């Protein structure tokens, strides 16, 4: 069990996450419980060692969590043919989905874009959507709507675009590119496995938008009068008013 201070009063279950790097972001939005087979001990989540491949055997009550974040193995859909040459890599997306439904109000499942995620619930994110110097295309099935940002920028031939060439960059470079602390996680894991922090924040923002009970439609009844009053205040304000802001 790692030392851990809980965040806001939301409960987040993080599964198939041995390092659980993404919890660096998730902990800002709730108390993170990491349930995984070979957990590495870090201080960003409560750690429970367990096999998440069987949805019926998790040690939690149904509906315990506000959000389930799952990273089922992606070897079966790897871009490298040699990764699954025997064809026996585990395929646990269905199990991850069942865990999300049973134990969480909402869920996020992360995997390769070619993995069998439900198309009508699938969003594909990649680094150029967030101004990152890596492509790192990943797909996410979510139980709530997520906007897919436009692809912006261009990655030149000298810019790192593939995690398979992780050795060409330093651990600090990968930490900066993915948005996590330096010196905390192995470089290979940072390059190949962890989800960039901007991806996680984008997904969490969509989740919070979907579940925010305080959100509503803007009342534009007095909009013109409000804007007129605001412009009047700005036009008649003294220079000192601005310098004190």
Backbone angles phi, psi at 66, to 5 degrees: -80, -30
> How much is the pTM?
0.79
CA–CA gap between residue 193 and residue 17 (Å, rounded):
10
pLDDT along the chain (245 residues), means of 10: 60 95 95 94 89 94 96 77 58 94 97 94 94 92 94 64 69 94 92 95 97 57 58 56 45
Annotation: CATH topology of 11-149+195-227: Rossmann fold (3.40.50)
Q: List the domain boundaries for the chain.
A: 11-149+195-227
Return the pLDDT at 64. 94
Return the pLDDT at 218. 44
Return the pLDDT at 18. 93
**Two tokens, residue 9:** 């009063």
Return the pLDDT at 91. 80
CB 136 within 8 A of CB 151: no
Q: Which of 29, 112, 31, 103 is nearest to 78 (CA)?
A: 112
Which runs of E-coded beta strand occur in 50-121?
65-70, 104-111
Return the pLDDT at 119. 93
204, with CB counted inside 10 A (0-12, 13-18, 19+), is buried
Return the pLDDT at 169. 86
Return the pLDDT at 230. 59
Backbone angles phi, psi at 123, to 5 degrees: -130, 130
């Amino acid at each position: 069990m790692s030392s851990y201070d809980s965040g806001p009063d939301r409960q987040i279950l993080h599964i198939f996450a041995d390092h659980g790097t993404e919890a660096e972001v998730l902990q800002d939005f709730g108390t993170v419980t990491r349930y995984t087979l070979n957990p590495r001990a870090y201080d960003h989540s409560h750690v429970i060692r367990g096999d998440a491949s069987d949805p019926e055997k998790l040690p939690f009550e149904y509906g315990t969590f506000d959000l389930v974040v799952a990273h089922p193995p992606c070897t079966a859909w790897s871009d490298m043919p040699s990764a699954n040459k025997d064809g026996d890599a585990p395929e646990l997306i269905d199990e991850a989905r069942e865990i999300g439904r049973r134990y969480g109000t909402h869920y996020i499942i992360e995997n390769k874009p070619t993995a069998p995620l439900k198309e009508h619930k699938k969003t594909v994110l990649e680094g150029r959507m967030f101004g990152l110097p890596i492509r790192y295309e990943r797909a996410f099935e979510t139980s709530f709507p997520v906007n897919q940002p436009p692809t912006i920028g261009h990655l030149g031939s000298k810019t790192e675009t593939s995690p398979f060439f992780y050795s060409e960059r330093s651990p600090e470079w990968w930490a900066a590119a993915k948005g996590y602390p330096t010196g905390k996680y192995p470089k290979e894991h940072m390059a190949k496995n962890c989800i960039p922090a901007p991806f996680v924040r984008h997904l969490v923002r969509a989740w919070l938008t979907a579940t925010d009970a305080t959100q509503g439609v803007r009342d534009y009844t007095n909009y013109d009068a409000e804007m007129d009053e605001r412009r009047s205040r700005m036009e008649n304000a003294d220079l000192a008013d601005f310098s004190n802001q």
